[in-house]
Structures are given as C-alpha cells and as structure tokens.
Structure 1
C-alpha cells in the first residue's frame, strides 16, 4: 500500500473553493498555483482569473462557479487557437 496522500478532488457543489480546490482542478501543487500560476492568471489581459470573495481575507476563497467558468473558457480558447504547422521535407526540421 502506498504511503502517498490520496489526491483531493474539488467538489463542484461547494459554495466556494480554497486554494487546495483550485490546485486539484488544475492538477498542480498548491505551491505552484500560489507562487507561479495565480499571479500569471490574474495579470492576463484577455481572461483574468476571478477575484477572491471580498470577505475571505485570511484564507482566500473563490466562488466555485466563477472558477469553473474560467477554466472552461480557458480550455475553449485553447482549443480554438490555430495550430501552427511547419512543412518538413525529408523527415527533419
């Protein structure tokens, strides 16, 4: 039996999500979300990440449906982006 902790699943019916829920949905570690991805996502001009709920100062919490919509819009935008193809002759770039 493995001693690794069980992977947490984000509950879409919860009224709000914490950093752990967002990390579970993104499939990344909480540390990576907090230090790298969240600042990058919040600064995005086209599709900024939703702001935390105003009453959650100590432990930030986000509206669950807003976060789910953001992930869905981001995935849709990624699928709609054109794929750049390069012509390769002889099997080598």
Structure 2
C-alpha cells in the first residue's frame, strides 16, 4: 500500500520517529473497487483482462451501463490511431 501511494500520514509518530500511516481508502468498498480493477486490468499488467460483460456479471451489477459508468475508464481503449492512419494512407494511394 505504501509503494502504491495508498496511505496517508496520521500526524503521529511511533518508536524511532517513523510516522504512523493509515489506509487512504479504508473499508470493504475499496476492496470492491480493487477487485473490479483486477478483473479489468490487462493480463500483462497483472489483471485478468476480462470483457465488460464478464466484469458486470462478477460484480453483480444489474446492467452493463452501471459497470461502464463506474469502471469504463479502466478498460483498455485500443484506439492508438494506427488503424485510422493506415486507412488514410490507403485512401490516398
């Protein structure tokens, strides 16, 4: 949690002067968001790389809209512009 930047200082210090830290996002809701991000993240980044519909089912959301409104920003975009540039080149030849 420390390496990920998910802790905050409490203003108190322990033995040896080390600061006491606490979780930036405490509670089970934070665990739920972590689980969702793990489902979504690409396999090469340590996640499962699941499709939105599968994430919806695993999260228990009633609709895909709820899943995408909440976690849509985490899904890979797959739009680096390469395909569009190739199509433009093909049209101009």
Bin of the TM-score, shorter chain as denominator length: under 0.3
**Structure holding more strand per residue:** 2
Higher relative contact order (CA 8 A, sep 6+): 1
TM, length-normalised to structure 2: 0.27
TM-score norm. by structure 1 comes to: 0.27
Higher Rg = 2
More helix by share: 2
